[in-house]
Chains A and B, each alone.
Chain A
Amino acid sequence: DAGVIQSPRHEVTEMGQEVTLRCKPISGHNSLFWYRQTMMRGLELLIYFNNNVPIDDSGMPEDRFSAKMPNASFSTLKIQPSEPRDSAVYFCASSYRQGSYNEQFFGPGTRLTVL
């Protein structure tokens, strides 16, 4: 298996632009997680899905952030409009079943820079 796939790997954009990050989970996994990593706050959970349904989005910083999972093999995280403080590494992770016993497999991350 190729593992969790994220695109793009790097994104540089200007303040005010829309940014879309993409994630393909491992085939057969039914939980998907979006995290953000910053120096100040470490690794933060933004939102997670079970069976394509958003379960907890309490970590989404504000209305500028939205996430969708239209099917079991694809998810997007969108920021509109983007701001410089959104600059961070965004990770997507997937796991096999609901429940934290299960190991989460992380993608390589997308490094976002908002100028």
Chain B
Amino acid sequence: ILNVEQSPQSLHVQEGDSTNFTCSFPSSNFYALHWYRWETAKSPKALFVMTLNGDEKKKGRISATLNTKEGYSYLYIKGSQPEDSATYLCAFALNTGTASKLTFGTGTRLQVTL
């Protein structure tokens, strides 16, 4: 069983604060690491797919980094806004013949208040 862990489980910040979360995954047989954003009562939507050690991706105020050797990825949100409130999921893909299969972490629930 693959262990994908996310921390913290939940986070409550004020508008304008910058924040970051962690995703830990097995460092062997790495294939890809996905980040998804999941708003309440909606479905998960992909933010980033990362494949190379040292990868950095950015979309607006959200960015992510990847360290495949030590098995972690960070997601950063700069200047949090209420609309950033959501659960952020990471998902790990193992390098096997079934590379399509993703193992999801349990997510970090972010709440941004005014």
Contact = CB atoms under 8 A, between A and B. Distances in A.
Contact of A48 (B34, B51, B100, B105): B100
A104 B91 CA distance: 11
A100 B34 contact: yes
Interface residues of A, number: 24
Interface stretch (B17-25, B42-50, B65-73): B42-50
A55 interface: yes
B99 A104 contact: no
Contacts of A91: 43-44
B110 interface: no
Interface of A is mostly: strand
A51 B105 CA distance: 27
Interface of B: 31-32, 34, 42-46, 49, 51, 89, 93, 98-107
10 contacts: A45-B101, A48-B100, A48-B101, A98-B99, A100-B99, A100-B101, A101-B32, A101-B49, A104-B46, A109-B43
Given A100-B32, A103-B49, A106-B44, 14 more contacts: A33-B100, A43-B89, A48-B100, A50-B100, A56-B98, A91-B43, A98-B100, A99-B99, A100-B34, A100-B49, A100-B101, A105-B46, A106-B43, A109-B43
